[in-house]
Chains A and B, each alone.
Chain A
Amino acid sequence: MDLSLSTRNVSGPGGDRTVVEVGGEIDVYTAPKLREQLVELVNDGSYHLVVDMEGVDFLDSTGLGVLVGGLKRVRAHEGSLRLVCNQERILKIFRITGLTKVFPIHTTVDEAVAATD
């Protein structure tokens, strides 16, 4: 399965948020597409991103690298990158790499959009 990406803007209490809905497999082959999407959003001035990973079937370290790169980019503009994920198989990868301490991980898009800390 290939990677699918779609974005939408949502207004939250802290201002506008861009929700990036990701589906399919994020691996060494597809991760560059996600990277391009995140870079494009930041270049267009979207600095508060919510990456919805509920449709992701597979994530590897290449995908983690892209998410960390996205975080680095939004932080350069005092932005944020929040993840939405409830899948144990995906969460496990964030845990074993220690990235649960780096990314705020939410259970719903609404919760991520509402977060203001």
Chain B
Amino acid sequence: MPGDTPGPPEAYARTFEGDGMATVELRFSAQPEHVRTARLVAAAVARRAGVDEAVLDEVRLAVGEACSRAVGLHRSHGITAPVSVALTEEEKAFSIEVGDSVPGPGADPAESGAGDASGGSGAGSARPDSEADGEGEDEMGLAVISGLVDDVEVRSGAGGGVIRMSWPTAAAVVSP
């Protein structure tokens, strides 16, 4: 970084948690209208990374589900931090990590901001939802993700939850 320019805003000055650096990272405020943006960006980066055209619909849907879920979790817990999406082009795969900031089960509920110890939170469990039609949407979102994506991992910790999904790229499919 050149010393004569001001540093990046704090929100962007974080390090990536994975092994390498994400190809594209997106952070958006937890508003439903931004989920579409995340879908479009994810599909565009996945296409460039060599994910098969036939699978792009699945990428779009899966990342949308993961982001909708994160937005719902942030909103129901009154968390103002942004939702993060890391899109990473790996050697033979394309991976997407959608991260929320809702502490998972086992974390101190007093620090979650909601003070509601019932059922825990984060990527490992359902979010509370008072709206009748919304009940079970979170679980349905996870059901859609696990139905669509072969390689998916859901984890949660004190800092929040992450849904990690990956798809093979053309490089991986076309082997010598």
Contact = CB atoms under 8 A, between A and B. Distances in A.
Interface of A: 25, 27-29, 35, 58, 60-62, 64-66, 68-69, 72, 89, 93, 96-97
B64 interface: yes
Interface in B73-125: none
Contact of A65 (B32, B136, B147): B136
Contacts of B68: 27-28, 60-62
Contacts of B42: none
B140 A64 contact: yes
Contact of A29 (B35, B57, B134, B144): B35
B132 A28 contact: no
Size range of the chain B interface in the assembly: 20 to 34
Contacts of B144: 60-61, 93, 96-97
Given A60-B68, A61-B68, A65-B133, 6 more contacts: A25-B36, A61-B140, A89-B57, A96-B144, A96-B147, A97-B140
Contacts of B147: 96-97
B14 to A, nearest CB: 25
A117 B140 CA distance: 28
Contact of B148 (A25, A35, A96): A96
Contact of A35 (B35, B60, B71, B133): B133
Interface of B: 32-33, 35-36, 39, 57, 60-61, 64-65, 67-68, 71-72, 132-134, 136-137, 140-141, 143-144, 147-148
Contact of B60 (A58, A64, A68, A69): A58
A27 B50 CA distance: 26
Contacts of B61: 58, 60, 93
Contacts of B136: 65
Nearest to B31: A29
A96 B133 contact: no
A61 B65 contact: yes
A59 B35 CA distance: 13
Nearest to B140: A61
A72 B143 CA distance: 21
Contact of B33 (A29, A58, A61): A29
Nearest 5 CB-CB pairings of A with B: A69-B133, A96-B147, A29-B32, A28-B68, A61-B140
